[in-house]
Amino acid sequence: MRSCDRLQEALLQCHRRMPEGPARRSGCRHLNKAFAECVVAEACPEESEAVRSLCSSGGTSLKRKQCEDAQLSLSLCLSRHQREFEQR
């Protein structure tokens, strides 16, 4: 997760600067999203890239099916990581 360290630090700094509540949620939203995407891409790089490329726009029914399959694969990958973490 080393590649996400800077985003994590920026998000922590944002949380320190902004008071808790709607202002923080709004002000730190872009960093929260970027950090979450980074962590997911680090944990499941192939599955994350497949979702990014197949689900980025509309398309044919085949592309929508491929997008759904990619999302399922990503979900399963993240679930495996979660189970591994919980078993520590």
Domain boundaries, the chain: 1-43, 46-88
3-state secondary structure of 68: helix
Residue 40: alpha-carbon gap to chain centroid: 4
What are 1's two structure tokens? 């997760």
Kindly tell me if the per-residue pLDDT of 42 is higher than 70. yes
pLDDT of residue 28: 95
For residue 88, what pLDDT band results from cuts at 50, 70 and 90? confident
Nearest-angstrom CA–CA distance, 4 and 38: 6
Instruction: Please state, rounded to an integer, the average pLDDT across all residues of the chain.
Output: 94
Q: Is the pLDDT of residue 58 over 90?
A: no
Read off the amino acid at residue 67: C
Cβ count near 11 (within 10 Å):
19
Q: Is the predicted pLDDT of residue 83 greater than 70, yes or no?
A: yes
The pLDDT of residue 46 is 98
Task: Kindly indicate the confidence band of residue 1, based on its pLDDT and cuts at 50, 70 and 90.
Answer: low
pLDDT recorded at residue 73 = 99
